[in-house]
Amino acid sequence: MSTMDLILWRHAEAQLLRPGLDDAQRRLTAKGERQAKRMADWLEGRLVPSTRILVSPAQRTQQTAKALRREFSTVASLAPGQSADELLEAAGWPGAQESVLVVGHQPTLGVVASRLLSGIDALWSVKKGALWWLRRRERDGTVQVTLQLVLGPDFL
């Protein structure tokens, strides 16, 4: 049986987009910093050491990922507005041999979750700072995708 975990983590709460502020430069709010730390603390005891961490270049995702205090790779194809296909390609889905954590954006994360769990590209909502943990497994020649966990930062 082969498995691959794909963990989708939406950036925590960020500043609102204002005139003159580049979307990619928006930073986390104080609440967002607390959300990122709580989720990172929860993840720390659950991620296997070999987990590959891929992060959008946007400032708010970089800050969210830094709360984990682990090395990560910044991946341009995870920037806001990129497609579900680009995210899945960057993650190596479905064949990667290690767990992959992606820190990214809506609506891409919701579309990925929808596609993998229902087979349809729908605009599912992933709350700011929330985590969706999906697992691809093969049993008796059949590939299955299971939802392991959905967790919002307010429940930690």
Question: What span, in angstroms and rounded, lies between the C-alpha atoms of 54 and 2?
Answer: 22
Per-residue CA distances from 35 to 44, 67, 124 (Å): 14, 10, 21
CB atoms within 10 A of CB 81: 9
Complete domains list, the chain, with CATH: 3-155 (3.40.50.1240)
Q: Distance (Å, rounded) from C-alpha 36 to C-alpha 65? A: 8
Angle between helices 30-44 and 59-66 (to 10 degrees): 40
Q: Are 12 and 44 in contact (CB under 8 A)?
A: no
Helices 84-91 & 108-118 angle (0-180, nearest 10): 80
pLDDT by residue for the chain (156 residues), tens digit each? 478 999 999 999 999 988 988 999 999 999 999 999 999 999 999 999 999 999 999 999 999 999 999 999 999 999 999 999 999 999 999 989 899 999 999 999 999 999 999 999 999 999 999 999 999 998 888 889 999 999 999 998
pLDDT at 20: 87
